[in-house]
Amino acid sequence: MKHENSKAPDWSAEIEQWPEAERDWAQTAADAMVFADAQDSAISGQLALVRESMAASGQRATDLFGEPFRYGSKQGKSLRAHSDVVESSLTFRDRNGLATGLLSSLGFLLVVLGLWLGFDEGWATSSFTGPTMIIFPAVFVLVGVSMWAWLLRTRGHMRAPLAIWAAVLAGFIATIALVAALDDLPIPGPPNWVMPLIGLGLLVFAFKVPLSKPRPLVDDTAWDDERWFTQAENLLRGRYLFSRKQAATALLEAREHRRISGAPGTAAQEFGNVERFTAQLVPGSRTPIKRGIVLRRASFSLVVLFFGIMLISEFFEEPITAWLIIRGVIWLCLLAGVLWDWRPKSINAATIELNRTRASDARTLAVADTEDDD
């Protein structure tokens, strides 16, 4: 869902033109479209069509189009910017989204660790001292750079992310070396009771970061066939996690058609925008979809495993306290959830659901291609 700003949305003027008795329906439908990430300008046009239909038929909006929230949710999905549709499964789509994710993650971690250490070591104790004051910001900056490289990969850039990840690895090694060299440096830190407050502040700030406007799809109108098909293959591999062989197979029919038919113009003119085209190849490709689900679950599992190793070491090295037992129970609940998600049945269900979403997105993009042809 989009972050709202203080400026009145474009469609508010359209609602003012509605009959007084129908404005609640229009407002609810518009809110549902916003929730579905529809573009503000498109919402105005959709509401205008409903208003004109009411005027022509003399019927109410509910009689013509049903419940407003359901109508708005359905229409809103088809009114999303095309870049939002092709990147619908991404956790973030731009720098602002990345900043929101990193700040909220850091804030949540500081809240959890602040409470953890406050109960465990005392609220007035300064547990965040020495190398910890260096490693926390350094790690989050490096993670942010690494995630930005992943976003570049989803845009079809296959080489730049490799160079960035190599630099990030070097940064991690340098950070570890610096921390080891400064192990005894007395860097003062805040008391533990301050850390949850800092974390809450970061969480609030994270959700104040405005979302960027949807980006336009890549302009491929002047590309020759080789560049167009190369970008299509890179998108299938980077954004949708196809293997090189799977991507080549998915594009084989279109390549052969261009080669044999000798049709005039470019691939973009015949098949449409490369980002829309590749998104319509994805539904039904079970293995790449399943691969993405497994990678996401593996990432969260590693985080749970990391905290589990820390917790188990405390059980062997520290006295058993009520707070240690509480943390152990919380971790066991997380572990149970992770193991539950790794069941083949759970992964298959998630794969089917994501494929259904991808198919719906493909239909939305196919309609756009048809309109462009007209």
Per DSSP, the residues of 255-279 read HHHHHHH--SS-HHHHH--HHHHHH
Residue 367 confidence (pLDDT): 79
What would the two tokens of residue 255 be? 């390549």
Residue 370 confidence (pLDDT): 63
Q: How far apart are the first and last CA of the chain?
A: 31
| CA neighbor of 24 nearest in space, from 32, 14, 33, 15 | 15
With 80 as the cut, is the pLDDT of residue 8 above it?
no
Q: What is the pLDDT of residues 254-296, one digit of tens each?
A: 999 998 887 788 899 999 999 999 999 999 889 999 999 999 9
Coil, helix or strand at residue 18: coil
Helical segments of 4-39, H only: 12-16, 23-35
Q: Is the distance from CB of 366 to CB of 280 less than 8 angstroms?
A: yes
* pLDDT band for position 182 (cuts 50, 70, 90): confident
| Mean pLDDT in residue range 175-198 | 81
What pTM, to 2 d.p., does this model score?
Answer: 0.82
| Mean pLDDT in residue range 312-324 | 79
DSSP H or E run through 253: helix 244-261
| Mean pLDDT in residue range 342-355 | 94
Residue 158 confidence (pLDDT): 93
**Sequence-separated (6 or more) residues with CB below 8 Å from residue 67:** none
With 60 as the cut, is the pLDDT of residue 109 above it?
yes
| Mean pLDDT in residue range 11-22 | 88
Residue 90 confidence (pLDDT): 84
Q: Report the percent of the chain where pLDDT is more than 90.
A: 45
* pLDDT band for position 313 (cuts 50, 70, 90): confident
Residue 4 confidence (pLDDT): 46
Taking the C-alpha atoms of residue 330 and residue 336, their distance in angstroms, rounded to an integer, is: 10
